[in-house]
A and B are shown apart, each in its own frame.
Chain A
Amino acid sequence: AQRVTQPEKLLSVFKGAPVELKCNYSYSGSPELFWYVQYSRQRLQLLLRHISRESIKGFTADLNKGETSFHLKKPFAQEEDSAMYYCAPPGGSQGNLIFGKGTKLSVKP
């Protein structure tokens, strides 16, 4: 079964500090990985997908197939980045996503 691991439940940093939210996955095919963000129990919003190689709100994520990782990074955290972040690889041949437990990012002033 496909799995995703987000090892940190909570990550607390100060404003302006670099942030890295870790994600490791197990997937046998060629993965299409996503990061979603959820502010205060609102709906999940797509933050970025690896295939587009975009930078959204200053966040980037690089797929490392050798380490099966897709860590999310931002060089300078902002208070408005405080939210839950979910890494989501595909669930298999179907379209559903497998969500990790999520990492709560708290950016302190």
Chain B
Amino acid sequence: EAQVTQNPRYLITVTGKKLTVTCSQNMNHEYMSWYRQDPGLGLRQIYYSMNVEVTDKGDVPEGYKVSRKEKRNFPLILESPSPNQTSLYFCASSSLRDLGHYGYTFGSGTRLTVV
């Protein structure tokens, strides 16, 4: 089944403790992206990647890092999480050729709470 898999689904952590949220897709998509979803703000892009070893900042990149060492994986790293990073996070992917016609395929989300 074609899908984007995120882990974990739920995570509670303490301020300053480094964490990684994993994202993997099995569709050989070039494009991958991370979004955060907050009430009243919709989805905001954190980082994106056009292909292996090619990453760039989105609209709200502060406090986050990403890497794209393999085409299928695009982990989101929070080096020193803070409470304002409490949010619902989504990974998404797309074929560059099909993006304008089919949009993104989304993962199921990771609900992160930083206390």
Are A and B part of the same complex? no
Q: Report which B residues bind A (CB closer than 8 A).
A: none
